[in-house]
Amino acid sequence: MGKVKLIMEQTHTPLFDALDKHAKMRPLSMHVPGHKYGQVFSSKGYPYFHKLLEIDATELSGLDDLHHPEGAILEAQALLADLYGVEKSYFLVNGSTVGNLSMILAACSANDTVIVQRNSHKSILNGVRMAGVQPVFVHPTYDQDVQVASFVSFKTIRRAFDTYQNIKAVILTSPNYHGMMNKMELSKIITYAHEHGAVVLIDEAHGAHFMLEGFPSSAITLGADMVVQSAHKTLPAMTMGSFLHLNSYFVKPEEVEYYLQVLQSSSPSYPIMASLDLARHYLASIAKNGPNKILEKIKGFIQQLDKIPQIKVVKSTNQEVQTDVLKVTILSRCELNGYQLQTVFEEQGIYTEMADPNNILFVLPLTDAFDGDGVIEKIKQGLWEYKPLLRSFLDLHNEEVDTITPLALCYNEIKGYNKKVVSFREAVGNISGEMIIPYPPGIPVLMEGEQVTERHIEILNTYINTGAHIQGGDMRKKYIKILYK
Ligand SMILES: Cc1ncc(COP(=O)(O)O)c(C=O)c1O
């Protein structure tokens, strides 16, 4: 049994079954889409597409309507809510991106003060901007072991509540890209925010499987109001397929549903939705039987990986940090940096999730049928010619001055300004017209609407000198965009 008690019959797959039944009738399509269940299609792609196109239907009798569910989709979403133990769950066909936008728009009103994790995914930052709220950005802590931005501490959040009045929402990301989260801190944040009348919105894009035993805690079980998960990232669901879970006294389902139908297609993909129904069914079967076999398999794989002398598996030594075992961060212990290691792996046919100057990241499959031995063999083959050597981390993190930062101009004011490109020197004292983000650690040095200080320029120069990849501005010429009237 998983962390939650299953009440409904999780072996059912109502949406997939409805599509399967429909396809088996060999329907004559006098409706959209134009491929007519795959009969009309470019011969080039037909071998790949044809089976899937048989279930690429539209809102026909028996197939329900995502934006007004009354049948198979209603039932499939109810099963999803039941599995996760929440009030309501929604299928998303445009990724966590649309979930993040919708949860912010549904929970916040223009000019509300909201606390936002500074290194949020752009969908959170876009949502904050679209909602016209007043963001107060909070820095996450930095994990020295993995050399990545980790979690936002309770202390930082409490300080933000002490500094700003009437905070409406706290918007955080948990876990981080590397699967790290801090249960104790997040739990305290949620309780504290609720005591102060604020809702907690969590981007849990990388944690759709956290309802299973043996994995870090989901923000759902810690009491967050809304949680968005990219089912497609770690569950067997099609790309873009995601979930939004609502479990709140404060946020009305009607508001969430309004924004979901505003922001999502009126012709949502049935294959994506059916894959979500099947992913939920798959997850439920693991929750029921227990994930021990999967966990054992992963443990064995990581032990073997760690025996390869040219690499080292790294994990946070912070006792409070829980790390998802599906995410494996690998540090180079030979002359190769993270990017070069990635290339060597690719030459062996192994494609990684990402690379940075220090690390590469693997996302392992949620199955005990994973051929770890095959992967290990290929890695050994790729690395045999490199001599092991102790390689220390390139420390790419610069201490920030403030851990809590408001914008100098709110988003509605920004709209009235023009933008121009100026040198770093000239930018000081002006308002930034763009975000500048070094990777790693992926924490923006500057947000759009923030006043540029000497300290920001100092930090940027350090990042440039350490060779970090920087998004925004022209770092070669040392120019950035500022706002002017
Ligand atoms: C933390 C986080 N949130 C949201 C997203 C957006 O998710 P999706 O690709 O499902 O739209 C991503 C994507 O990488 C992400 O890493």
**150 CA from centroid of ligand 1 (Å):** 16
Tell me if 311 sits within 8 A of 111, measured CB to CB.
no
Closest ligand 1 atom to the C-alpha of 97?
A: 11
Name the closest-CA residue to atom 10, ligand 1. 95
Distance 97 CA to ligand 1 centre (A): 6
Residue written as token pair 């923000």: 219
Å from CA of 230 to ligand 1 middle: 7
Cα separation, 235 vs 257, whole angstroms: 24
Q: pLDDT tens digit string along 199-214?
A: 999 999 999 999 999 9
- What's the confidence (pLDDT) of residue 403? 82
Query: Can you tell me the distance from the alpha carbon of 22 to that of 59, in angstroms, rounded to the nearest whole number?
Result: 12
- 3-state SS class at 384: coil
Residue 398 has, within 13 A of its CA and on its CB side, a CA count of 23
Q: Taking the CA atoms of the chain, what radius of gyration do you get in angstroms?
A: 24
Facing residues of 310 across strands?
none
Q: For 264, what's the count of Cα atoms within 13 Å in the CB-facing half-sphere?
A: 30
Could you tell me the distance, in angstroms and rounded to a whole number, from the CA of residue 391 to the centre of ligand 1? 31
Report the separation in Å between the CA atom of 14 and the middle of ligand 1, taken as the mean of its atom positions: 27
Calculate ∠ Cα 439-445-447, nearest 5°: 115
Which two structure tokens, joined as six digits, stand for 31?
A: 């409706």
Best mutation site among 94, 102, 119, 121 for ligand 1 pocket (most ligand atoms within 8 Å of CB): 121
Instruction: Could you list the beta-strand ranges (E) of 179-279.
Output: 180-182, 199-203, 226-229, 242-246
Q: Ligand 1: which of 102, 117, 123 to mutate, judged by most atoms within 8 Å of the beta carbon?
A: 123
User: For residue 233, which atom of ligand 1 is closest to its CA?
Assistant: 10
Take residue 476 and report the two structure tokens written for it.
């070669």
Report residue 129 as tokens.
Answer: 């901007």
How much helix, strand and coil, in percent to the nearest 5, is found in the chain? 35, 20, 45
Give distance in angstroms: CA of 229 to centre of ligand 1: 8
How far is Cα 458 from Cα 258, in angstroms, rounded to an integer? 45
Query: Ligand 1: which of 96, 104, 260 to mutate, most ligand atoms within 8 Å of CB?
Result: 96
d(CA 12, CA 112): 42
Q: How far is the CA of 238 from the centre of ligand 1 (A)?
A: 14
- pLDDT in the model for residue 2: 46
Measured distance CA(234)–CA(249) in Å, rounded: 29
Q: How far is the CA of 174 from the centre of ligand 1 (A)?
A: 12
Q: Which atom of ligand 1 is least distant from the CA of 98?
A: 11
Q: Which token pair is 280?
A: 């939920």
Residues having CB closer than 6 A to ligand 1 are 95-97, 100, 121, 123, 173, 177, 203, 205, 230, 242
CA of 120, closest atom in ligand 1: 1
CA of 406 relative to ligand 1 center, distance in Å: 24
For residue 226, give the 3-state DSSP assignment.
strand
pLDDT tens readout for residues 385-435: 999 987 666 666 666 645 888 899 988 889 899 999 999 999 999 999 999
* Below-50 pLDDT ranges, the chain: 1-2, 401
The pick from 230, 263, 269, 272 for probing ligand 1's pocket by mutation, whose C-beta has the most ligand atoms within 8 angstroms, reads: 230
Could you count the other beta carbons within 10 Å of the beta carbon of residue 296?
11
Residue 313 vs residues 302, 310, 375: alpha-carbon distances, Å: 7, 11, 15
**The predicted structure's pLDDT at residue 400:** 61
Give 177 Cα–ligand 1 centroid separation in angstroms.
9
Minimum-distance ligand 1 atom for the alpha carbon of 232: 10
Based on the number of CB atoms within 10 Å of its own CB, is 223 exposed (0-12), middle (13-18) or buried (19 or more)? middle
Reading the block at residue 45, the tokens are 């792609």
The pLDDT value given to residue 419: 96
- Atom 9, ligand 1: residue with shortest CA distance: 95
The H or E element containing residue 48 is helix 46-53
The Cα 10–Cα 183 span in angstroms is 28
Residues 316, 150: Cα–Cα separation, whole Å: 9
What atom in ligand 1 is closest to the CA of residue 176? 1
* Segment (H or E) for 458: helix 454-466
* CA 425 to ligand 1 center in whole angstroms: 35
Instruction: Please give the Cα distance from 431 to 408 (Å, whole number).
Output: 7
> How many angstroms separate the alpha carbon of residue 360 from the centre of ligand 1?
18
| pLDDT reported for residue 64 | 98
Helical residues (DSSP H) of 290-406, grouped into ranges: 292-306, 338-347, 372-383
Q: Are 104 and 171 in contact (CB under 8 A)?
A: yes
* pTM of the entire predicted model: 0.95
